[in-house]
Structure 1
Amino acid sequence: MPSVDELCVPGHPHETRKRSIFPRDPRRKGPRVDPQAYIDRPNQRLPMTEPLLDLLVVGAGPAGISVAVEARAAGIAASKILLFEKGEAHSWSIRKFYPEKKLVTANFKGLAAQCRGVLCIPDLSKGETLSYLDRAIRDHELAVRYREAVTAIAKQADGTFLVRTEKGTHRTRVCVIAIGILGKPNRPDYKIPPKVRARTHFDVTSERLEGERVLVVGGGDSASEYVQYLVQCGNEVTLSYRRSEFRRMTSLNRESLFALEERGQARILRASDIEGIELDEGRPHVRFTGASPPSETFDHIVFALGGATPAAFLQSVGIDFEGGDPRVTDGYETSIPGLYLIGDLAPETGSIILAFNSSRDAMVDICASHLECELPDRAE
């Protein structure tokens, strides 16, 4: 973990007579679009532009990249693998939500995570991790389509999947969903007045804050790291957490946060909850319960409340849930044969090594159940 002093571095809807194979998005108006119809009319929008793939990956973060690397190690040709990423570059959540020089930790909450797959790293900085993943994409000749979101996935009678994106429709034997939860950060239950929304944030990279009074809301590792970063950038920082103890943080982040408090560089409002936010001359005025003073005005608020599983998308695909979580096997296969969930959406994730390992386990299952491939033993 770097010291605090190192942290601050500067479609046309087309009516069709066929019944749609894709669930209708309730947010969209107009007639259904049947991508199968465009296979018969290749001059229309959403053409079937690719031959049958062996593996299509939704999301090009650490888990998505690593499952494609595992597929290459298992002997699957690069031309049979395709990744889609809605962001401008791979690992978009790391780029957007991690402060510069933040460590991307190999372990999980202080517990060692043993590498089982092709990809393996020690604790690295944000930049070092992105460079490592750059090399993985290049060295394994992976094809990644950036700025292209997947909008629907449908299982076909022949066992393949049709996957629709904003630009086309593709057919694949196996589909792996490896989208992160941070791309959809949790939002507070209380209303944020429209006139102060420009002063509320869900990351510390989109807008650089310096010399401001900033309230950070949350109690996990991101909250601590945001506080450390904002302090180093010359801000007056207050952290509000609804619990009295910070059990969700690693010991390192907890100790770093408490050190800032002891030195008077950050203020912590323990067991404080936010009742609401009001407008105070263009700035957010926050009403607390369990805090003194009971209300206070800040220049900016940064929320570090974690991410939400994109349940609506997964349910639209037809994946079964148990409670609030998608149901997967030990090999990360969902209730739909041939469709896998890895990374943030899989159980017990939290570190990049566990993301890599979930990719390895999924690929072992894929080779055993769906594709003619075999993974070699990992070279130590």
Structure 2
Amino acid sequence: MIIIGGGPIGLFSAFYAGLRDMKTLLIDAQDELGGQLVTLYPEKTVYDVGGIPGIQAYELAQRLVEQAKMFGPEIRVNEWADWIERTNDNMWIVKTDKGSYKAKTVLIAAGIGRITPSRLGAKGEIEYENKGVYYTVRRKKDFEGKKVLIVGGGDSAVDWALTLAPIAKSVTLIHRRDQFRAHERSVKELFRVANVYVWHELKEVKGDGNRITQAIIFDNRTKEEKVLDVDAVIISIGYKGDLGNIPKWGLNMKGRDIIVNGKMETNLPGVYAAGDIAQQVDSPKLALIAVGFAQAAIAVSVAKKYIEPNASLFAGHSSEMDKFKSK
């Protein structure tokens, strides 16, 4: 099986495919496995995973990676699945920007697609990306004792300001309007713990070539500029999910969702989908990790029987793990 997507559902699929004694290749477009857990909210707490009252998203991602590797799947990161095509012997070829791979089944667990941050286009922004300019907070400790500027007015921007205020030297937030999309209580607290400039935007970031040292902001009504000494700029204005050529693969889709039946089968034989990218017919869509885990188990089990018609659809409980490991 080739699994497209290295987020929580793709990772769990790799584990479950190994549990079913399937040779597995996992391909992910990001440079780090974990999907939205590590790209969008690594420091947030996830509460909707069964048996875990609460866990930091980044830690959950690392546990899923560890679990996914239990049966030795081949894993390729920073590789973009561009095309799939069926061969004359009823196999599937997945073409990426780095090569081609052949398998009997394909599981698409691409979530919202390749995640890219929305950029402002401010002068110096690209030059200092990951040298002081960031689009999310992967580790809070990286901002301890630093002068931080946050750009944005939504929940994410305000939440990061509140999260970093106790550990940073200073936190300043600028927003291009005077109305925030964040929760009212959070906004009220924001004005108490951070320096806030409404009607302000980022014009330029400056530095010594290795790290940023200043940010130039301006009032978008008067064009008056201010120079701020900063160690870090967090641009929190959203992310975009890029599905690439997936809509051209011949799959039945509705909007950004791949239509699947109760077996997680797409209209293409041997191709399955699970997680945020999948929409089951006659079933409500719940974009929850817990739901995606169940979909992954179903998809892999059905794929196993597709490959080996005499195989059991349900091979037993994972509590019998020693039996599987000894195979």
Q: TM-score, normalised by structure 2?
A: 0.69
Percentage of matched positions with identical amino acids: 17
Q: 2:123 aligns with which of 180, 190, 193?
A: 193
Alignment pair present for 1:84 and 2:17: no
Contiguous gaps of at least 5 residues in structure 1: 1-54, 108-112
> In 2, distance between residues paired with 1:90 and 1:278?
33
Number of the residue aligned with 1:94: 37
Alignment pair present for 1:341 and 2:304: no
Deviation at 1:175, TM superposition (A): 0.8
Which has a greater percent of strand?
A: 2
Check whether the contact 1:81–1:143 (CA below 8 A) recurs between aligned residues. yes
Number of the residue aligned with 1:124: 55
Structure 1 residues 66 and 343: alpha-carbon distance in aligned structure 2, compared to 1, 3 A threshold = same
Alignment pair present for 1:313 and 2:261: no
> In 2, distance between residues paired with 1:378 and 1:295?
63
State the structure with bigger RCO (CA 8 A, min sep 6), 1 or 2. 1
3-state DSSP class of the match of 1:238? strand
Q: Which amino acid aligns with 1:214?
A: L
Deviation at 1:228, TM superposition (A): 3.1
Misfit runs of 4+, over 6 Å: 292-295, 377-380
Contiguous gaps of at least 5 residues in structure 2: 207-213, 280-284, 320-327
Alignment pair present for 1:283 and 2:215: yes
Deviation at 1:277, TM superposition (A): 4.4
Superposed CA RMSD? 4.1
> In 2, distance between residues paired with 1:128 and 1:195?
29
State how 1:209-358 maps to structure 2 within 5 Å: 209=143, 210-220=145-155, 222-231=156-165, 232-238=167-173, 240=175, 244=179, 246=181, 257-258=186-187, 260-261=189-190, 264-266=192-194, 277-279=202-204, 283-288=215-220, 299=230, 301-323=233-255, 325-331=256-262, 332-346=264-278, 348=285, 350-358=287-295
> In 2, distance between residues paired with 1:132 and 1:87?
18
> In 1, distance between residues paired with 2:223 and 2:36?
35
Check whether the contact 2:174–2:199 (CA below 8 A) recurs between aligned residues. no
Check whether the contact 1:60–1:91 (CA below 8 A) recurs between aligned residues. yes
Deviation at 1:225, TM superposition (A): 3.9
Check whether the contact 2:275–2:296 (CA below 8 A) recurs between aligned residues. yes
Structure 1 residues 376 and 85: alpha-carbon distance in aligned structure 2, compared to 1, 3 A threshold = same
Aligned residues: 295
Check whether the contact 1:62–1:352 (CA below 8 A) recurs between aligned residues. yes
Structure 1 residues 197 and 135: alpha-carbon distance in aligned structure 2, compared to 1, 3 A threshold = closer
